[in-house]
């Protein structure tokens, strides 16, 4: 039985963080990075074009923040799981992310440990909030 490849879109406005996450994910045999974006507007466009299984998206970004972008992506009816990344743990942000359709909220400092399990959990309709 072959593994399902999880198609992931990575969104972060800091190029170094974006590249680090991309490199982390590319080490996994069952994960394929199908695109990257640096703001919420670009994330919405790529979500529509690529239809990723999972979107890993920064909370704080220019033009359109990740939480609002998550809400817009969810409203479009795109079948994707959204995992938010943040430098800050805030119950208010977690609540807002969940309200806007996120199935995960990971603190960036813990991403090396928590992100890949969160992606796999999201594919099984699990939540990491």
pLDDT tens digits for 62-116? 899 999 999 999 999 999 999 999 998 889 999 999 999 999 999 999 999 999 9
Q: Sketch out the chain's domains with CATH numbers.
A: 6-123 (3.40.50.2300)
pTM of the model: 0.94
- Residue 107 CA to residue 29 CA, distance in Å, equals 24
Rounded to whole angstroms, the Cα distance separating 14 from 129 reads 23
Cα(20)–Cα(26) distance, integer angstroms: 10
Does residue 36 contact residue 50 with C-beta atoms inside 8 Å?
no
């Amino acid at each position: 039985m072959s593994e399902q490849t999880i198609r992931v879109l990575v969104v972060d406005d800091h190029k170094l963080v974006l590249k680090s996450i991309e490199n982390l994910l590319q080490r996994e045999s069952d994960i394929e990075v199908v695109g990257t974006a640096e703001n919420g507007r670009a994330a919405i466009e790529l979500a529509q074009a690529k239809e990723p299984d999972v979107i890993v998206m920064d909370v704080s970004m220019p033009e359109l923040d990740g939480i609002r972008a998550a809400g817009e992506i969810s409203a479009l009816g795109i079948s994707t799981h959204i995992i938010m990344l943040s430098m800050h743990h805030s119950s208010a942000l977690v609540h807002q992310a969940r309200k806007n359709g996120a199935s995960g909220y990971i603190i960036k400092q813990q991403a090396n440990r928590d992100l890949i399990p969160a992606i796999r959990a999201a594919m099984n309709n699990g939540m990491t909030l």
